[in-house]
Amino acid sequence: MLEQKNPLVLAFVGDAVQTLFVRENLSSADAKIAALHKSASQIVCAAAQAKRFDEIYTTLTDIEKDIANRARNAQHNTVPKSCTPGEYHKATALEAVIGYNYLSGNKERAKEISC
């Protein structure tokens, strides 16, 4: 069952999916590639993802909350220097929920959560 999948695997997929959604949204802007990349990076960085997680947490279903909590509590071997451990754990939780929804075929929900 997808709900029982390793939450870090779901986060791995969710990271790529969120990046794709963000880039898709930004592609309508008439800007230079460097500016688009900078904008995308600001949205998918751990600090921004942690903020987004806080914004959407109360809207999550029980299954999504379970996945988020397992992902947030998962053992991480490293944490980037650009964020706090708390931000990194919340970012991982957000990515896991996005990955879960995407893999379960609920792409609209994944997009709603990620943007």
Closest CA relative to residue 49, chosen from 27, 19, 25, 75: 19
Q: pLDDT tens digits, residue range 23-78?
A: 999 988 888 899 898 999 999 999 999 999 999 999 999 999 999 999 999 887 77
Q: Is the pLDDT of residue 83 over 80?
A: yes
pLDDT of residue 31: 83
Q: What is the pLDDT of residue 96?
A: 98
Q: For residue 63, what is the enclosing H or E element?
A: helix 62-72
Chain mean pLDDT for the chain: 93
pLDDT, position 103: 98
Quote the tokens at residue 13: 């997929």
Q: Does the annotation count 30 as an active-site position?
A: no
Say if residues 20 and 40 touch (Cβ distance below 8 Å).
no
Delineate the domains of the chain, giving CATH numbers in brackets: 2-23+33-114 (1.10.1520.10)
- Among the options 15, 30, 62, 66, which is catalytic? 15
Quote the pTM value: 0.93
Which has more pLDDT, 27 or 18? 18
Give the chain's count of helices (H) and strands (E): 6, 0
- CB of 22 within 8 A of CB of 44? yes
Query: CA 22 from chain center: how many Å?
Result: 11
